[in-house]
Amino acid sequence: MGIQITPSILNADLAALGAEVGRIPSADWVHVDVMDNHFVPNLTLGLPVIESLKAHTDLPIDAHLMIEDPDRWAPAYAEAGCGSVTFHVEAAKAPVRLAREIRNQGARASMGLKPATPIEPYEDLLGELDMLLIMTVEPGFGGQKFLDLCLPKIRRARAMMDRHGVQTWLQIDGGISLDTIERCVEAGADVFVAGSAVYSASDPDAMVADLRARAESATP
């Protein structure tokens, strides 16, 4: 598995999501941020919008659930056809059970960590996950500045994955741009969420290609 670029539609024109997703045909996934105004201080899209969006794109949907009680709600996103569903470990009551339930619904199970959440307590969970998401901004709003302080955690996560021999993807979300993506690749990440960098560009798909090229040039 090589570098994957996953544009976030949080910074797209939400009134024309079908057309906006059509502007990124070379993306690997469409990243959809689901926020409930409880776990994070913002309110965004939910399950009905994702179900509607699926009719307008062949790209797989990467649902990032920044919500309370993901144990209750996350399986429904997998059942609705999302290719990957990320829950936050800070909100999950039974992360192993939830990851297995997401997988049983046919989606890839992913666990997200806020910037201040350490990876070490969850080392034994890596084998239960298809992807680990490390946030490099505080979740809730797009357009924030990348937090370099998260780079050591990315390195530690990659070292753990290598030590256990797991095939878990390592996704980074927050402040990803042409200026920051190389640092994340060098730290061990391979899946990148980019929102404002993609949708503020005059040609979003060209930016997807530029991000991929920049990341691949930094791959060991």
pLDDT digits (tens, 9 = 90+) for 69-87: 999 999 999 999 999 999 9
Q: What is the pTM of this model?
A: 0.95
13 catalytic, yes or no? no
Q: Which of 33, 36, 130, 190 is catalytic?
A: 33
36 catalytic, yes or no? no
Q: Tokens 């797209």 label which residue?
A: 12
Q: Point out the least confidently predicted range of 44-53, 115-124, 198-207.
A: 44-53
Q: Which of 36, 62, 130, 173 is catalytic?
A: 173
Q: 160: which 2 tokens?
A: 């753990």
> What dihedral angle (degrees, nearest 10) is formed by the CA atoms of 53, 57, 60, 61?
-20
Distances (CA, A) of 36 to 42, 66, 69: 7, 7, 10
Residue 142 in this model has a pLDDT that exceeds 70: no
Q: How many domains in the chain?
A: 1
- Strand pairing of 108-113 and 84-88? parallel
Domain containing residue 128: 4-218
Q: pLDDT tens digits for 14-73?
A: 889 899 999 999 999 999 999 888 787 676 778 888 998 998 899 999 999 999 999 999
Q: What is the mean pLDDT of the chain?
A: 94
pLDDT for 181 equals: 98
Counting Cα atoms < 13 Å in the Cβ hemisphere of 38 gives: 9
Amino acid occupying residue 219: T
Average pLDDT over residues 131-155: 90
Least Cα distance to 111 among 136, 81, 91, 141 occurs for 91
Please tell me the distance from the alpha carbon of residue 62 to that of residue 193, in angstroms, as a whole number: 10
Here the CATH number for the domain that contains residue 150 is: 3.20.20.70
Residue 143 in this model has a pLDDT that exceeds 70: no
Q: State whether residue 181 is helix, strand or coil.
A: helix
